[in-house]
Amino acid sequence: MKETTDSSSNSFASLFEKSLAKMDTLKSGQILETEIVSISKEYVFLQLSGKSEGILERAEVTDADGNLTVKEGDTIKVFFLQSRNGELYFTTRIKAESAGSEMLESAYKNSIPVEGSVTKEIKGGYEVRIGDSRAFCPFSQMGLRRKETDETVIGKTLTFKILEYKECGRNILVSNRAILEEAQQEKKDLLKKDFSEGDVISGTIMSIQDFGAFVDIGGIQALLPISEISRGRVEDIHTVLAEGQQIEAKILSLDWKKDRISISMKALEDDPWESVQKRYPVDSRHTGVVSRIADFGAFVTLESGIDGLIHTSALKGQGKYNSTKDVVKKGETISVQILEVDAERRRISLKPSASVDEEAETRKYIDNASGSEDTYNPFASLLKKK
């Protein structure tokens, strides 16, 4: 039994020594995917083999606010940097101060991200300083979207991928866009597991266009079309949404290949058409606002999401008539009567409950009667109740 135990111990010791020897053969820039063992105030410790651990500076995995972007147990991709005092140091990117020519060439061959400072704008792009070397980043490779110029990046330290390394480092071509696209793809891969059509998600309005708004949902953008903002008609998107606004929406469609995600706020609202026949029975009278005028009639909003149509034939005979605009005006409040309700096709047919002239005269009569304190007019009171 003792021989077996000794044999096992020797075997383990032998394997451990071999694992350490293997670690010693790591080359600068070699990529490694490993697990985070623990996190201290200054360092992140990485699982290598056996009991050996690698070291990564904590600052490399914190955001602009100093918050950690990883946790113990996470898998992380790192690059071997160097061995110092018996410790193996790794990095997620090569820092400018340690970017010698040998390190930059290794970064190019192994696709290791490098830090660089954007010093100035030059013809076709930007000059980027990486350690003692100068590199060129075209306009098309700065940021996720092409811009002919962007003065906000000058003076900033950004992360780049080396696309070309020629003439012993005298000719270096870099891309910031490639780094951002890789990060976006990683986020997308994670979101693929979490997001499905029909899910309700939270997001932040990033930009607003006339046709809709782009919304950040976990690091990628989704489109909120103007038609999906509300059950009611939205004339001016800027009156209901603002950049930086937090919203909740339902995922309508996911197309990961084309990077198209469509979301809807409207889908979270109750559908007013479900009980429309109870609220608007045939022959009942209501007040609405003229929301849109067309050649064939006028649309009247009875409530948010419920519009009815007064056909031109119902407007004829309403005083002087040449076109719909001669009878009603957009934004005008009018009284209407329900002619027909088709909940399935989402259509309501209306007619004016009184002529325009009659309404004006009636309103004038009521107002005059209300202004008289000495005379009681039962007809005015009756009309008011209507």
In this predicted model, what pLDDT tens digit does every residue of 206-260 receive, in sequence order? Answer: 999 989 999 999 878 899 999 899 887 787 899 889 999 999 999 999 888 888 8
Q: Answer whether 280's CB lies under 8 Å from 286's CB.
A: yes
Give yes or no: residues 177 and 105 share one domain.
yes
Confidence at residue 7, expressed as pLDDT on a 0 to 100 scale: 47
For 202, 259, 272, 291, 315, the CA distances from 265, given in Å and listed in that order, are 10, 20, 15, 22, 36
Average pLDDT score over residue span 282-311:
90
Domain membership of residue 76 (yes or no) is yes
* 227 vs 8 pLDDT, higher one: 227
Domain membership of residue 42 (yes or no) is yes
Write down which residue in 91, 108, 129 finishes a domain. Answer: 91
Q: Answer whether 327's CB lies under 8 Å from 314's CB.
A: no
Confidence at residue 194, expressed as pLDDT on a 0 to 100 scale: 82
What CATH number is attached to the domain comprising 139? 2.40.50.140
In this predicted model, what pLDDT tens digit does every residue of 74-100 receive, in sequence order? Answer: 988 888 878 888 889 898 887 776 677
HSE-up (13 A, CA, CB side) for residue 244: 0
HSE-up (13 A, CA, CB side) for residue 106: 18
Average pLDDT over all residues of the chain:
81
SS3 of residue 211 by DSSP: coil
The secondary structure of residue 375, as a DSSP letter, is -
Query: What is the rounded CA–CA span in Å between residue 47 and residue 35?
Result: 5
Domain membership of residue 170 (yes or no) is yes
Query: What is the rounded CA–CA span in Å between residue 176 and residue 159?
Result: 6
In this predicted model, what pLDDT tens digit does every residue of 331-342 receive, in sequence order? Answer: 889 999 999 999
Host domain of residue 296: 272-353
* 382 vs 243 pLDDT, higher one: 243
Q: Which of 64-73, 140-149, 167-176, 191-200 is predicted least confidently?
A: 140-149
Instruction: Give the phi and the psi of residue 100 in degrees, each rounded to 5.
Output: -80, 175
Write down which residue in 181, 210, 239 finishes a domain. Answer: 181
Confidence at residue 37, expressed as pLDDT on a 0 to 100 scale: 92
Give yes or no: residues 109 and 177 share one domain.
yes
* 28 vs 225 pLDDT, higher one: 225
Task: Write the CB contacts of 301 (distance below 8 Å, at least 6 apart in sequence).
Answer: 232, 233, 288, 289, 290, 291, 307
Q: Answer whether 302's CB lies under 8 Å from 272's CB.
A: no
From the list 220, 219, 216, the residue with the least C-alpha distance to 207 is 216
pLDDT at 353 over 90: no
pLDDT at 380 over 80: no
Considering the entire predicted model, what is its pTM?
A: 0.53
Give yes or no: residues 101 and 171 share one domain.
yes
Domain membership of residue 82 (yes or no) is yes
Domain membership of residue 9 (yes or no) is no
Residue with tokens 């007040």: 287
Query: What is the rounded CA–CA span in Å between residue 238 and residue 364?
Result: 37
Give yes or no: residues 176 and 134 share one domain.
yes
Domain membership of residue 17 (yes or no) is no
Would you say how long the chain is, in residues? 386
Q: Which of 6-20, 230-244, 289-303 is predicted least confidently?
A: 6-20
Domain membership of residue 133 (yes or no) is yes
Confidence at residue 192, expressed as pLDDT on a 0 to 100 scale: 83
Query: What is the rounded CA–CA span in Å between residue 201 and residue 217?
Result: 7
Task: Write the CB contacts of 108 (distance below 8 Å, at least 6 apart in sequence).
Answer: 162, 164, 165
Q: Answer whether 347's CB lies under 8 Å from 299's CB.
A: no
What domain count does the chain have? 5
Domain membership of residue 13 (yes or no) is no
Q: Hey, which residues does 157 pair with through a beta bridge?
A: 117
Confidence at residue 363, expressed as pLDDT on a 0 to 100 scale: 58
Give yes or no: residues 177 and 200 share one domain.
no
Write down which residue in 152, 181, 210 finishes a domain. Answer: 181
Confidence at residue 320, expressed as pLDDT on a 0 to 100 scale: 56
Residue with tokens 């029975």: 281
